[in-house]
């Protein structure tokens, strides 16, 4: 559900600056967002707007985490996150997501 809300905010931002319709919208998304859910929300929310038919490209943030238990570092991915928790891929210990989850517009073309 948070994917839908994040896309609503992003699309509101894009619609506030009408112009030439983009063919591609690039975003960077935190690890708690899945590209599939963001894409689905984007396609639904852009229907009937000048953004309809544009392609959403989702790039991961590449955030690093350090396990509080085993002290190893890793790049956090969607596969490591369950809700607002990250699971260490080395020892399985849970911990908080390193940063506030977000979806940020990178570029349109």
SS3 letters across the chain: CHHHHHHHHHHHHHHCCCCCCCCEEEEEECCCCCHHHHHHHHHHHCCCCCCCCCEEEEEECCCEEECCCCCCEEECCHHHEECCEEECCCCCCEEECCCCCCEEEEEEC
pTM for this predicted structure: 0.82
- Length of the chain equals 109
pLDDT for the residue 1: 59
Q: Which residues of the chain have pLDDT under 70?
A: 1, 100-101
pLDDT digits 0-9 by tens, 55-75: 999 998 888 899 999 999 999
Q: What is the CATH number of the domain that holds 50?
A: 3.30.2320.50
Cross-sheet strand order for the sheet of 55-60 = 55-60, 24-29, 103-108
Structure tokens at 19: 């112009």
Number of domains in the chain: 1
User: How many CB atoms are closer than 10 A to CB 104?
Assistant: 13
Q: Report d(CA 26, CA 109) in Å as an integer.
A: 8
């Amino acid at each position: 559900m948070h994917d839908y809300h994040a896309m609503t905010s992003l699309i509101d931002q894009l619609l506030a600056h009408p112009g030439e319709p983009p063919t591609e919208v690039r975003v960077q998304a935190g690890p708690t967002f899945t590209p599939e859910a963001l894409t689905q929300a984007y396609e639904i929310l852009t229907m009937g707007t000048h953004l309809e038919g544009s392609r959403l490209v989702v790039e991961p943030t590449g955030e690093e985490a350090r396990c509080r238990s085993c002290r190893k570092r890793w790049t956090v991915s969607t596969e490591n996150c369950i809700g607002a928790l990250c699971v260490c891929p080395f020892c399985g210990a849970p911990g908080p997501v390193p940063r506030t989850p977000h979806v940020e517009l990178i570029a349109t073309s």
